[in-house]
Structure 1
């Protein structure tokens, strides 16, 4: 009879310990991964440049520069003072999707001139139409990144580089009136951007 009572006490004690452990876990769960304090943080990238071109084994490169950029940003210099090239698309070579695109983001908005070029690195088929979109995010989450320019460039020869867009921004991230143009300035071979 004593053995039976000891077994019941042991079982009750074990059950209470397990129940206490479960209660502590449930009480601690909300504190393990607290909700984000900064849910309204600004998304990264203030000046966003994206290019797209038709599917296929074509490698078109994005080259860009901005105020204070020491060396133009492109496939051989993916990170600069102002811009970072986030995707260097090689066409359908090691790629899981048929989409062809490259994009770059700036760290901040600096007043001055910005230049966006496209370069036909490996174009087995020409001409190639390249769509270019430039968006600006001033940090106002209600507005998000707003497109300021879209254009299309036609590359007609393998190895050709063209300026898609040149523009100036003021300190508030607004495009300076009458500053948009496509006057060519080579970036690929400038100061080490091979």
Structure 2
């Protein structure tokens, strides 16, 4: 017989206990793998951990050529705007100049973005009143422009505290979108839209003869 020469392996005797033990070890190993997946830290790729307390956005119609500006003043008198992008805890993340800067150059070709948006983040809590104004810096269309302003409180959970639209219609037009007041814990205790000019703040600095105001960043023109 060819099997006598050992050319084919012999079949081992069937042992049910060994098979059951092997299967049990497979199940335990699989369950251990699932447990590792459950306790493993989540991947941080693409995750943005915002440290802001509030985020303030101003949007106007896509592809609009006009330049609108967002001004935010905190209770200490600091004002974030395009000439002072960081003031106290206020940070202007983007100065959107309408059709003037909403594009990038790739391989010599201009790629335009239709989005018109400015964003200010509030990265710390100061008790008192905050004022948010919209200004019409450049009016190429010479038509009214609606500006949607939204204020979101981010901590402990996201909450919209203001979402409305104001309209500006000529160069230098300034509108107060909203004024809100925080208590010492960062809770909103009052919201109103009584007009308050922040441009007047800059005019006052100029009339007082100061070269640079430390809170507004205004620089006197000689």
TM-score above 0.5? yes
Q: Is the counterpart of residue 95 in structure 1 residue 90 in structure 2? A: no
Q: Check conservation: 1:133, 1:151, Cα contact below 8 A.
A: yes
The size of the alignment, in residue pairs, is 154
SS of 1:180's partner is strand
Where in structure 2 are the equivalents of 1:1-194 lying within 5 Å? 43-54=50-61, 55-70=63-78, 72-96=79-103, 97-125=113-141, 126-138=143-155, 140=156, 143=157, 145-176=158-189, 179-190=190-201, 191=205, 192=213, 193=216
Higher Cα Rg, which structure: 2
| Cα offset, 1:172, TM superposition | 2.6
1:152–1:41 distance in 2 versus 1, CA, 3 Å: closer
Cα pair distance change 1:37/1:170, threshold 3 Å:
farther
1:38: how far off? 9.3
Distance across 2 between alignment mates of 1:113 and 1:88: 23
Query: 1:64, 1:107 → 2: CA distance?
Result: 13
CA deviation map 1:122-169 (0-9, x unaligned): 12222000000001122x3xx2x3211101001122210111001111
Structure 1 unaligned blocks of 5 or more:
1-34
1:165–1:57: structure 2 CA closer, same or farther, 3 Å change rule? same
Q: How far has the Cα of 1:171 moved from its partner?
A: 2.3
Kindly state the Cα deviation for residue 109 of structure 1 after the two structures are TM-superposed. Answer: 1.7
What is the DSSP-based 3-state SS (H/G/I as helix, E as strand, rest coil) of the residue aligned with 2:85?
Answer: coil
Which runs of 5 or more structure 2 residues have no equivalent in the other structure? 1-40, 104-112, 206-212
1:19 is matched with which residue?
Answer: none
TM superposition score normalised by structure 2:
0.62
TM norm structure 1: 0.71
- Report how far residue 170 of structure 1 moved: 1.6
Q: CA RMSD in A?
A: 2.6
